[in-house]
């Protein structure tokens, strides 16, 4: 095995008599912490893990010019070798089933197994987007039921279910705004984005063809209302605002912001990635929001990131509904909610759609999981979930603000996430050092250096699914790391010490990644 463990010892090298405590082993393994070679080091291209019949030389080649002309060069492994390889790798990974994921602005919470069971039911797990409509009426009914809940919870008029994730939803909302402005022949080229917004907001506005201008934050971490009002004018198409914002704070002037933007002829886009902090307590529609995406994979507890695809339905106000993409779900005058598609768009007055975001209705697995989550909680349960998320974040913040700087600790209570900084660390100590130290403590690191408005930011979202006992354990680890960073403990500079691998040169790895296996010559 062409590997060297973090002590600098190479497997196979004789061990000295005086081990001195944490001594190396012949194999490189440490009890249940197993060294794992690459697949290329486990097997060879000359072997195969299965017995396959030789191809018939007389058989026609259906691949034509796409046929492979040489061996693929992949190593052959037996079944137990393959299973053990990936099982050992999984033991070196971190997961929500192992412990707290303190990533800020990502809402990495526990996914109830009930949701997974529902998503695997026949008729949901095996539904295909190209099936005849008459065979998927139940699936369409689930989409419509979920859409009804999203409309009710947000106080909006309609919802586009097809966007695949948050940024995709942002683009959907901005295209609705563009279509509405074009319909009234109103040429506006500027979108205002506060400093405290998510980073995807300005990127989405630019992608939609708009010029982006920043709006500063006040000393309390919230939008400077007067600066915003001063910039509004006939060239401003919209304001993209994150609420609660990336500093973990609720924008108290949200209604005043919406009123000012509407008076100037623009629209209000709200980034709803943090809707889980206000769900059941505040309806964005009541605050004057025109468009908002909802991350189902955050607010309604469906797999996130590597756990599965995202889903970002976009709720729209009544003025924007006619411009939503197809398929679309809208509230009728009698209060009912109906799924609108090309064949019935005229019937429901949805004749100004800008088109489609995707070929099909959306992520069926995400829809069933989200609806199962909503129905199992009910309105009161959803309200409690958002309250627990806020309670956990404030408990964490106030348990740490005597040893770590809380930049907006005097601005009132936070919402779903706690924001801390590196202010007060000894010279040379950084947020990165604390994050690496967390790995030694058995936790995934928090979000680092974001939001950009805070130097050395540490953003932590404990979510509503973590117990007080878990939070207390995390708080104890953070307090210890904070004291070490303030004291200039040099051992933090080389953390982690107990992980499968020592600290990497992340800048070098990002700029010069090794993406192909190359055998290292011995000697």
Nearest of 244, 149, 265 to residue 461 by alpha carbon: 244
CATH C-level class of 115-370 = alpha beta
Confidence of residue 523 (pLDDT cuts 50, 70, 90): very low
Q: Residue 11: is its pLDDT beyond 80?
A: no
Partners of 331 in beta bridges: 337
| Length of the chain as a residue count | 523
- R_g (Cα) of the chain, nearest Å: 27
Contact 104, 447 (CB under 8 A): yes
| pLDDT tens string 394-448 | 999 999 999 999 999 888 899 999 999 999 999 999 999 999 999 999 999 999 9
CB count within 10 Å of CB 345 equals: 17
Q: Residue 347: is its pLDDT beyond 90?
A: no
* Phi (first) and psi of residue 420, to 5 degrees: -125, 165
Alpha carbon distance 265, 235 (integer Å): 9
Q: Residue 17: is its pLDDT beyond 50?
A: no
Q: Residue 335: is its pLDDT beyond 80?
A: no
* Phi (first) and psi of residue 234, to 5 degrees: -65, -10
Share of the chain above pLDDT 70, in %: 93
Q: Residue 478: is its pLDDT beyond 60?
A: yes
114-138 burial, b if ≥16 CB within 10 A, otherwise e? ebbebbeeeebeebeeeeeeeebee
Chain Cα centroid distance, residue 411: 26
Query: Where are the alpha helices (H) located in 184-316, listed in sequence order?
Result: 200-207, 225-231, 254-263, 296-299
CB count within 10 Å of CB 278 equals: 25
Chain Cα centroid distance, residue 38: 29
- Mean pLDDT, residues 278-296 taken together: 96
Alpha carbon distance 302, 362 (integer Å): 14
Contact 264, 228 (CB under 8 A): no
Contacts of 200 (CB under 8 A, 6+ apart): 166, 167, 170, 271
| pLDDT tens string 61-74 | 888 888 888 888 88
Q: Residue 291: is its pLDDT beyond 50?
A: yes
Q: Omega of the bond prior to 244 within 30 degrees of 0, cis?
A: yes
| pLDDT tens string 371-402 | 999 999 999 999 999 999 999 999 999 999 99
Residue whose pair of structure tokens reads 């709803």 in the numeric block: 272
Q: Residue 22: is its pLDDT beyond 70?
A: no
Extract the runs of DSSP E, i.e. beta strands, from 95-143.
none
Task: List C-alpha distances in Å: 220 to 160, 198, 225, 228, 261.
Answer: 34, 17, 12, 15, 22
- Mean pLDDT, residues 182-206 taken together: 93
Assess whether the region 115-370 and the region 379-510 belong to the same CATH fold: no
CATH C-level class of 379-510 = alpha beta
What's this model's pTM, rounded to 2 decimal places? 0.88
Alpha carbon distance 418, 458 (integer Å): 8
- Mean pLDDT, residues 204-209 taken together: 95
Query: What pairing do the DSSP bridges indicate for beta strands 158-160 and 211-215?
Result: unpaired
Residue-averaged pLDDT of the chain: 89
Structure tokens at 440: 């030694």
Contact 372, 114 (CB under 8 A): yes
Q: Residue 306: is its pLDDT beyond 70?
A: no
Structure tokens at 204: 């989405």
Domain boundaries, the chain: 1-54, 115-370, 379-510
Q: Residue 460: is its pLDDT beyond 80?
A: yes
DSSP 94-156: --TTTS---BTTT------HHHHHHHTSTTTTT--TTS-GGG-HHHHHHHHHHHHHHHHHHT-
CB count within 10 Å of CB 320 equals: 22
DSSP state of 233: S
Confidence of residue 7 (pLDDT cuts 50, 70, 90): very low
Give the residue, 196 or 431, on which the prediction is more confident.
Answer: 431
Q: Directed axis angle between helix 468-487 and helix 431-440, to 10°?
A: 130
| pLDDT tens string 164-175 | 888 999 999 999
| pLDDT tens string 45-64 | 888 888 888 878 888 888 88
């Amino acid at each position: 095995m062409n590997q060297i463990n973090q002590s600098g010892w190479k497997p196979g090298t004789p061990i000295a008599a005086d081990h001195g405590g944490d001594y190396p082993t012949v194999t490189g393994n440490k009890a249940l912490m197993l060294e794992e070679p690459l697949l290329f080091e486990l097997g060879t291209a000359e072997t195969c893990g299965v017995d396959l019949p030789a191809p018939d030389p007389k058989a026609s080649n259906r691949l034509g010019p796409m046929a492979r002309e040489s061996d693929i060069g992949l190593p052959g492994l037996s079944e137990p070798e393959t299973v053990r390889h990936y099982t050992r790798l999984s033991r070196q990974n971190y997961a929500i089933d192992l412990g707290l994921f303190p990533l800020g602005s990502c809402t990495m919470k526990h996914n109830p197994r009930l949701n997974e069971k529902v998503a695997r039911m026949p008729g949901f797990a095996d539904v295909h987007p190209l099936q005849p409509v008459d065979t998927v009426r139940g699936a369409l009914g689930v989409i419509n039921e979920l859409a009804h809940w999203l409309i009710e919870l947000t106080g909006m008029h309609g919802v586009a279910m097809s966007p695949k994730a948050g940024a995709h939803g942002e683009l959907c909302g901005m295209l609705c705004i563009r279509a509405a402005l074009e319909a009234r022949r109103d040429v506006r080229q500027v979108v205002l984005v506060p400093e405290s917004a998510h980073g995807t907001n300005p990127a989405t506005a630019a992608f939609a063809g708009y010029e982006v201008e920043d709006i500063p934050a006040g000393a309390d971490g919230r939008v400077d209302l007067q600066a915003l009002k001063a910039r509004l004018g006939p060239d401003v198409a919209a304001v993209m605002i994150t609420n609660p914002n990336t500093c973990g704070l609720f924008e108290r002037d949200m209604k005043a912001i919406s009123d000012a933007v509407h008076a100037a002829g623009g629209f209000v886009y709200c980034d709803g990635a943090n809707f889980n902090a206000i769900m059941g307590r505040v309806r964005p529609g009541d605050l004057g929001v025109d468009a908002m995406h909802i991350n189902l994979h955050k607010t309604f507890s469906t797999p996130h990131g590597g756990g599965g695809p995202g889903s970002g339905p976009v709720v729209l106000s009544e003025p924007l509904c006619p411009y939503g993409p197809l398929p679309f779900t809208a509230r009728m005058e009698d209060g009912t909610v109906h799924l609108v598609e090309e064949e019935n768009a005229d019937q429901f007055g949805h004749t100004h759609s800008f088109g489609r975001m995707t070929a099909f209705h959306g992520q069926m697995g995400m829809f069933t999981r989200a609806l199962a989550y909503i129905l199992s909680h009910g309105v009161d349960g959803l309200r409690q979930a958002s309250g627990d998320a806020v309670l956990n974040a404030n408990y964490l913040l106030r348990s740490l603000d005597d040893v770590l700087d809380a930049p907006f600790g005097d601005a009132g209570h936070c919402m779903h996430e706690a924001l801390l900084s590196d202010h007060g660390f000894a010279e040379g100590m950084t947020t990165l050092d604390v994050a690496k130290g967390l790995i030694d403590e058995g936790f995934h690191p928090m979000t680092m250096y974001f939001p950009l408005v805070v130097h050395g930011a540490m953003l932590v979202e404990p979510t509503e699914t973590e117990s007080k006992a878990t939070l207390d354990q995390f708080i104890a680890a953070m307090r210890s790391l904070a004291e070490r960073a303030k004291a200039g403990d040099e051992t933090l500079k080389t953390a982690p010490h107990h992980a499968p691998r020592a600290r990497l040169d992340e800048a070098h790895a990002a700029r010069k990644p090794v993406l192909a296996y190359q055998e290292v010559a011995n000697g």
